[in-house]
Amino acid sequence: MGREVQDPQALAHLEGLNFYLSLYEQDPEWVAFIQQELNHNTPLEDIPGRLRLFLMEERTSNVRMDLIQEFLALYARNGAVLPVEPYLLEGALRSYLDSIRATDDFSILQAAYQDLRDHEEGSFFFRDVVSHNRDFLEAQSAKRTWIEVERNSLYSKIERAQARLERTEFQHTLLIFQLEDRKRGGE
């Protein structure tokens, strides 16, 4: 009959080691994290807890990125909102998440993502982000509109100048032909 380990410290070491070995087949990043912790002399009994924290941070980061991508895609599909560059929208979304202290709250991020997926433009989260950032988004949209108007005005001026240049070149060519005709006629 086998002896069970009774020493709490030895049990913690075994638990950490078993946890480490079970992860080896699942994801190399987890193993790399554990090896880094071991290199920093983290006690074996602390590694499972630190790994769980690392994994939760990774899950939160992934949900946050999914939420941002879904929000940007929904905003782009929505014709009722003002056109704004994606990086500005991401900043607006992050600003809203900061204001409700949800930047690192997995459950809120996950609920917001699900709300966007389920309700699209009718999503409370979508409306709250847009409402929270309305002044910013309107200013950015107005700036973008102004830039487009300026660009169109510049293109229009360039086209008119090019047309004048082509007319002038044509008239110059006609004058050269007339001068050559006079020279031949006068000879």
Residues 48 and 94 reside in one and the same domain: yes
Q: Tell me which of 85 and 165 has the higher pLDDT.
A: 165
Q: What local confidence, expressed as pLDDT, does residue 139 receive?
A: 65
User: What three-state secondary structure class fits 81?
Assistant: coil
Please write the tens of the pLDDT for every residue from 49-88.
Answer: 777 777 778 788 888 888 888 878 877 877 656 667 778 7
Instruction: Using pLDDT thresholds of 50, 70 and 90, give the confidence band for residue 1.
Output: very low
Q: Tell me which of 31 and 162 has the higher pLDDT.
A: 162
Please say if the pLDDT value at position 137 is more than 70.
Answer: no
pTM tops 0.85, yes or no: no
Q: Where are the alpha helices (DSSP H) in 40-133?
A: 47-77, 86-99, 106-119, 124-132
Instruction: Using pLDDT thresholds of 50, 70 and 90, give the confidence band for residue 167.
Output: very high
Give CA angle at 116 (92, 89), nearest 5°. Answer: 20
Q: Residue 26 falls within a domain, yes or no?
A: no
Q: Residue 157 falls within a domain, yes or no?
A: yes
Between CA 153 and CA 8 the distance in angstroms is 78
Residue with tokens 């987890």: 30
Domain that holds residue 76: 37-132
Please say if the pLDDT value at position 144 is more than 70.
Answer: no
Residues 122 and 182 reside in one and the same domain: no
